[in-house]
Each structure stands twice: as C-alpha cells, then as structure tokens.
C-alpha cells in the first residue's frame, strides 16, 4: 500500500510539473521536495541507484540556495540507502556530513538523529565502544528536547550492551 501511495504521489508530482510549467531554477524548494520524494519512492521499490541520484539532485539544490537543514536531511536519506546496501563507509561519510551541518545550524534534533545513525553503523561494524558512545550522545540530545525517541534508544543500548558484555566476557 505504501508503494502504491508513493507511486500515486510521484505521478501527481509529474502532472503538476507539466501543467504548471515549473522549472528547477525558479522553484527550488518545490524541486527539493520532488527529488527527495522521488528518491524515497525509488528506494522503496528497490531501485537504490535511482534513489541516490534523485536525493543528490535535491542536495545540490539545497547547497546552491543555502537550505542547510533540508540538505542535512537529504544527506541522511542518501546515507540510509548506503547503509541498507551494506556500504557502511559511504553511509558513515554521509551521516558525518549531515552531522556537521546539523551542528552548524544548531539543530539539536538533527544532531541527535545523526549521532544515532552513526551509532547504528558502528553497531553493524561490531565497533561497540564507538556505537555506545554515539548512542549516548544521541540520547543526550534527544533528552535535551524532551523528545520521545530517546526512550527507543534505550532498548538499542541494552541490545548493544549485551553484545558488548558477551564479547568482553572472560567466559567466551
């Protein structure tokens, strides 16, 4: 159902573009949304290469017009695609770029999410010390905002903590 909904949304966006004669040069923010939505759609149907291309187009516009928050979100979208493909190095690079932007604009929610995403990558790489460090940073920034996702990190921390204890246990 989500794929059909995304497909319908993409079709409507294409129709709007044709009817209204929108162009990228004059409707920057509209195209950021169009390209990111297209990237999300292509990712959902398993066409990650196309998804990255559309997200990159959105990011290029963000950079050109100074929409840093939208740019950071777009970098996270790209990073998540690379993460799902198992390309942790690329995913980490994009999440670190997003983190840098989030820090520049003092977006505490963005910082919290970036730290959590980076922690997830380190967990996948079985780099548990780094993972826990980034999860704790994420939790801290979520708690600064009284944001509920901080609670969900606690369960992930427990899972990672168990893996760390079993890895470091002298009984293994």
pLDDT digits (tens, 9 = 90+) for 113-157: 999 999 999 999 999 889 889 988 988 888 888 766 555 555 555
**Lookup: tokens for 77:** 């979208």
Cβ-Cβ contacts under 8 Å for 43 (sequence gap 6 or more): 51, 77, 80, 81, 84
Cβ-Cβ contacts under 8 Å for 36 (sequence gap 6 or more): 54, 55, 58, 73, 74, 77
- 87 Ramachandran zone, left/alpha/beta (phi>0; psi -120 to 50): beta
- Let me know if 110 is exposed, middle or buried by CB neighbors in 10 A (0-12, 13-18, 19+): buried
Give residue 10's pLDDT band: very low, low, confident or very high (50, 70, 90).
low
Q: How far apart are CA 130 and CA 120, in angstroms?
A: 10
Q: Do the beta carbons of residue 94 and residue 82 sit within 8 Å?
A: yes
Q: How far apart are CA 41 and CA 14, in angstroms?
A: 13
Mean pLDDT of 49-69: 95
- Let me know if 171 is exposed, middle or buried by CB neighbors in 10 A (0-12, 13-18, 19+): exposed
* Per-residue pLDDT tens digits for 82-99: 999 999 999 999 999 999
* Per-residue pLDDT tens digits for 111-120: 999 999 999 9
For CA atoms 89, 122, 120, 86, the dihedral sign is: positive
**Lookup: tokens for 79:** 């990073």
* pTM for this model (two decimals): 0.76
- Let me know if 50 is exposed, middle or buried by CB neighbors in 10 A (0-12, 13-18, 19+): middle
Mean pLDDT of 70-81: 97
Q: What is the dihedral of CA 99, 106, 119, 141, to 10 degrees?
A: 180
**pLDDT reading at 63 higher than 70:** yes
């Amino acid at each position: 159902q989500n794929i059909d909904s995304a497909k319908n949304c993409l079709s409507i966006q294409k129709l709007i573009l044709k009817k209204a004669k929108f162009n990228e040069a004059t409707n920057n923010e509209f195209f950021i949304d169009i390209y990111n939505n297209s990237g999300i759609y292509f990712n959902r149907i398993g066409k990650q290469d196309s998804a990255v291309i559309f997200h990159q187009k959105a990011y290029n516009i963000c950079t050109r017009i100074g929409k840093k928050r939208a740019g950071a979100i777009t970098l996270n979208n790209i990073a998540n695609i690379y993460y799902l493909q198992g390309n942790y190095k690329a995913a980490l690079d994009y999440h670190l770029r997003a983190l840098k932007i989030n820090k520049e604009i003092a977006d505490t929610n963005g910082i919290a999410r970036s730290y959590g995403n980076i922690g997830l990558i380190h967990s996948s790489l079985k780099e548990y010390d780094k993972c826990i460090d980034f999860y704790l940073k994420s939790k801290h920034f979520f708690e600064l905002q009284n944001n509920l996702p901080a609670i969900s990190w606690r369960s992930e921390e427990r899972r990672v903590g168990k893996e760390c204890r079993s890895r470091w246990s002298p009984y293994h």
